[in-house]
Chains A and B, each alone.
Chain A
Amino acid sequence: MTTQTIGERIKRNEDPQLLTGQAQFTDDVHLPDMLHAALKRSAYAHAEILGVDVAEARALPGVIAVYTAADLGDFWQPSPLLVPPPPAEHIIFNQRTAGQLARDKVRYVGEPIALVIAESRYIAEDAAELIEVEYEPLDAVVDLHQALTNDGPLVHDDVGSNIAAHVIQRKGDYEIARAQADLVITRRMLYDRGTAAPMEGRGVVAHFDPLARQLTVWDSTQAPIPIRNGLARMLGLSERQVRVIARFVGGGFGPKVMMFYPEETLIPWAAMRLERPIKWIEDRLENFVAMTHERGQVHDAEIALTKDGKILGVKDVFLHDTGAYDPYGLTVPINTQCTLLGPYVVPHYYTEFHAVFTNKTIVTPYRGAGRQHGVFVMERLLDLAARELGLDPIEIRRRNLIPPDQFPWCNEIIFQDFTKLTYDSGNYEPVLNKARDMIGWDEFQQEAPRLRAEGKLVGIGLVMYVEGTGIGPYEGARVQVEATGKLTVATGVGTQGQGHYTVFAQIAADALGVPIDQVYVSTGDTSQFNWGSGTFASRGATVAGTAIYAAAQQVRQKALKLAADALEAAEEDIDLVDGFAQVRGVPGRRISLATLAAQANPLRGAVQPGTEPGLEATAYFGPPMGATAVGAHAMIVEVDPDSFNLKIQRYVVVHDCGTVINPLILEGQVQGGVAQGIGNAFFEQLHYDESGQLLNASFMDYLLPTANDVPTIEIGHEETRSPLNPLGVKGAGEAGAIPVGPLYAQALDNALAEAGIEILEIPLNPCKLWEMVQAAQSKVGG
């Protein structure tokens, strides 16, 4: 029988290494003669730098060098714009990116000012403390509305305002919708800042070997190939001389895609200058202020509906906090604009945002990448409309779902992949129904009155979202059957826990009939594969997976041709099974793929012109547009009437991401996403004071959900294959995290319905809930 692993709950290839502590993360790299780096970072959110005195630091025994911006000379440069602005209808974009070390001004707490290189990390940190920075503090821009006005401090004087961008996108004409509406709901909604907090912080180790003329960089990054390309360019090297390694990364979630964090260029530069390997590993405090954040928007949103609850149009005007610089362009707010539309028919849509600079950490995509905010707005508007119209939340959603025969469905506006937002395929009502059944919606409605009479504050919620996944530009893969018998897969899409070493192996193993434990996957190492962008936007399985599939199919064709010759049989009579090419029905007539591979690479003899050696193929996949997945989350929650703490009684996810390659890994992704969503909804909020100081930069004060806070999640699947790739896959990495905020809002509005609250902000916490209940009750005079 040919092995079929796609669809199976296969154990992961990478786990034995990880479980025995033998996987090499960046800080696990030890090189002889290695030096250590530390950074002096800004203590102010906004200040002029009048002087930096490094004399005492340089004099400390064990310190090798201290660099400020002036010492970088020509190497000092603002980082590139990683994602240019999309071709939206109306767009103003002010690009401002940071140099590696601050020169005249600092614009956020944590911005790097000086780099110390020393014999040990301890000495480097001692030296950093000895650096004296003379600041002229300036008023900080913290509040988004204040940032928008022109009377107040400017983050970038030369922009003339704090506006980083202004974008308007339209579908149809919202004024028509409003004119026809039976009901218009208008609300202001708030979605506040959080951080990804991967358990492994950022780190870079750089080693330039002067004899080999090779620069090797270990970097805890999600995108080693762009880093390699940029470093080669900046350092005057050939790409062939630079190798970036990120084979094991302890969690990425988005913020580890960057080109560049200052340290990513400073450390290699210093390593080449000092001719010794240098290691820099950030600590958690640095991670809080210097790794990028996300969330941070204020929406003024409006929905126009008929009295039957059909959406006529939506208008959304919002502010997006981009932080002190905008190297990642407009990916996050564009995702907000697009994902707001959800699985619904929205005939008219007006969406406008201002991205504003603030004196806070830079904002770049973090799992969800702006989708959360859009989904929150739409789901809340629907819930509020449902309440007004006397519909239940499920019914109002059902009435607006895009029908299954309407795909591909074009929403006109421009998506983060620079194409018109188009949903490739989908069947939404089964997902809604399954979630409703799994959570026991009807049973709850029957039980609830009795429970509430007993004083239990129980509530239920169900929300939906559509997630654009699997976008380009492209990924590639090289698949090879070696004479060793091993099947190798090399690609540019690395893994930070998503199981790519396994999922990618499954695709190739199935195509060639090779046992999965004979597959060697190489990723996260630029010396192994030359082209690709990286792991982000839920695209690994879809884009790299398809390239692997294509390359594997080409190798399959080559193998069958060679086997047909060797076995003197017709290609169509040959099966590939367990590493052999086997004539069907004739057990003795077979040849191993290893032997075929060896024969395809002869040491003597003549090779036919136009042939390639070995059993190898390289293929690329550039999807014309992304594949859209859909999901529904539902939960039953109980609020403690005294502490306002929550107990989640049940949590259901129904998910449609097309073909599932490994259900075990997929479930892990959904569960992990939900946990981050729960953190985002109820535990995690970054608190800034009016001078731009981050007040809760530690795990004591920024609460991550623990095993006691995340419930068991019940997962249901639907499968609507994507027509955009042969495997029919869609992405799933961010799905769990996206709709949790509005789900909490709906379920808690329901649980606290007697108080008559209306939740319009995320994150929540027990104090906020209590305050809302107090405010609502005092309005009623009770």
Chain B
Amino acid sequence: MKREVTLTVNDRSYTRQVEPRLLLSDFLRHELALTGTHVGCEHGICGACTVLLDGQPIRACLAFAVQADGHSITTVEGLAAGPNDLHPIQQAFWESHGLQCGFCTPGILLTLLPFLQEHPDPSEAEIRDALSGNICRCTGYQFIVEAARRAAAKLREGSAQ
């Protein structure tokens, strides 16, 4: 028995018929073909599926698509200004080698985006704490932390202009 949902994803409005039990992660990935959000555990621990709901990070694997009805979602596809651009956070990760296989990366980017908005000059300890809900199996986190620092600097620079 399907229900109609209407939501905004990356500033674009979508209306779809969905089963109530359809996970938000599956809705984004398969209904909307926005496959940048990845699914690592489906039990809310690894953080790979992190997206923003009305600007706040949530686990898309622990939400149903129907819960997002009327809300605004940001996924990794919505970060860059255009198809050949990179958001300063993405650029920072590129420069710092802040990813290896890249599977956990979108979730980390979406976790850091609101964090850096609230903490424009974070300490290493604060960064590590903010990242403690995102599991990475490849990097050991060190270059991710550096990337976050570099991103913070870029964002401060950008807002200063």
Contact = CB atoms under 8 A, between A and B. Distances in A.
A708 B129 contact: yes
A778 interface: no
Contact of A27 (B22, B35, B142): B35
A455 to B, nearest CB: 24
A12 interface: yes
Interface of B: 19, 21-22, 26, 29-30, 33-43, 45-46, 48, 75-77, 79-80, 86, 90, 93-95, 97, 99-106, 109, 127-129, 131-145
Nearest to B100: A497
Interface of B is mostly: loop
Given A250-B103, A710-B141, A122 B19 contact: yes
Contacts of B94: 11-12, 15-16, 19
B140 A18 contact: no
Contact of B40 (A14, A284, A676, A710): A284
A497 B145 CA distance: 18
A11 B102 contact: no
28 contacts: A9-B97, A12-B97, A18-B102, A19-B94, A20-B79, A20-B86, A21-B37, A21-B75, A21-B77, A121-B26, A122-B19, A199-B136, A199-B138, A200-B103, A284-B43, A498-B100, A499-B100, A671-B140, A672-B137, A672-B140, A675-B139, A675-B140, A699-B41, A699-B135, A706-B134, A708-B129, A712-B142, A712-B145
Interface string A17-37: 011111111011010000000
A707 B131 contact: yes
B48 to A, nearest CB: 6
A700 B45 CA distance: 7
Contacts of B100: 497-499, 668, 672
A706 B131 contact: yes
A20 B90 contact: yes
Interface in A191-220: 196-201
B95 to A, nearest CB: 6
B134 to A, nearest CB: 7
B45 A710 contact: no
Contacts of B103: 25, 198-200, 250-251
Given A21-B77, A671-B142, A672-B139, A284 B42 contact: yes
Contacts of A341: none
How would you classify the secondary structure of chain A's contact residues: helix, strand, loop or mixed?
loop
Given A499-B100, A700-B43, A21 B141 contact: no
A196 B138 CA distance: 11
A707 B144 contact: yes
A393 B19 CA distance: 63
Nearest to B34: A21
A182 B18 CA distance: 76
A25 B99 CA distance: 15
B84 to A, nearest CB: 9
Nearest to B129: A708
Interface residues of A, number: 57
Given A19-B76, A21-B34, A497-B99, 11 more contacts: A11-B97, A16-B90, A122-B22, A199-B101, A668-B100, A671-B142, A674-B140, A699-B45, A704-B137, A706-B133, A710-B142
B140 A16 contact: no
A251 B137 contact: yes
Interface of A: 9, 11-12, 14-16, 18-25, 27-28, 30, 121-122, 196-201, 248-251, 253, 283-284, 496-499, 664-665, 667-668, 671-676, 698-700, 704, 706-708, 710, 712-713, 736
Closest 10 CB pairs of A and B: A21-B36, A250-B103, A497-B101, A18-B102, A497-B100, A675-B140, A671-B140, A28-B35, A699-B45, A707-B131
A199 B106 contact: no
Given A250-B103, A251-B101, A251-B103, A284 B41 contact: yes
A19 B93 contact: yes
Contacts of A674: 140
Given A27-B29, A27-B35, A707-B132, A699 B43 contact: yes
- Most A C-beta atoms less than 10 A away, residue of B45, B80, B97: B97
Contacts of B134: 706-707
B137 A253 contact: yes
A710 B104 contact: no
A708 B128 contact: yes
A365 B121 CA distance: 42
Nearest to B143: A668
A668 B109 contact: no
Nearest to B90: A19
Contacts of A708: 128-129, 132
Nearest to A197: B137
B9 to A, nearest CB: 12
A498 B94 CA distance: 14
A708 B97 CA distance: 19
A28 B35 CA distance: 6
A220 to B, nearest CB: 10
Nearest to B133: A706
Nearest to B131: A707
A93 B37 CA distance: 45
A90 B131 CA distance: 51
B21 to A, nearest CB: 7
A244 B94 CA distance: 29
Contact of B141 (A15, A253, A673, A707): A707
Contacts of A253: 137
Contacts of A496: 101
A21 B26 CA distance: 15
A256 to B, nearest CB: 11
A744 B139 CA distance: 20
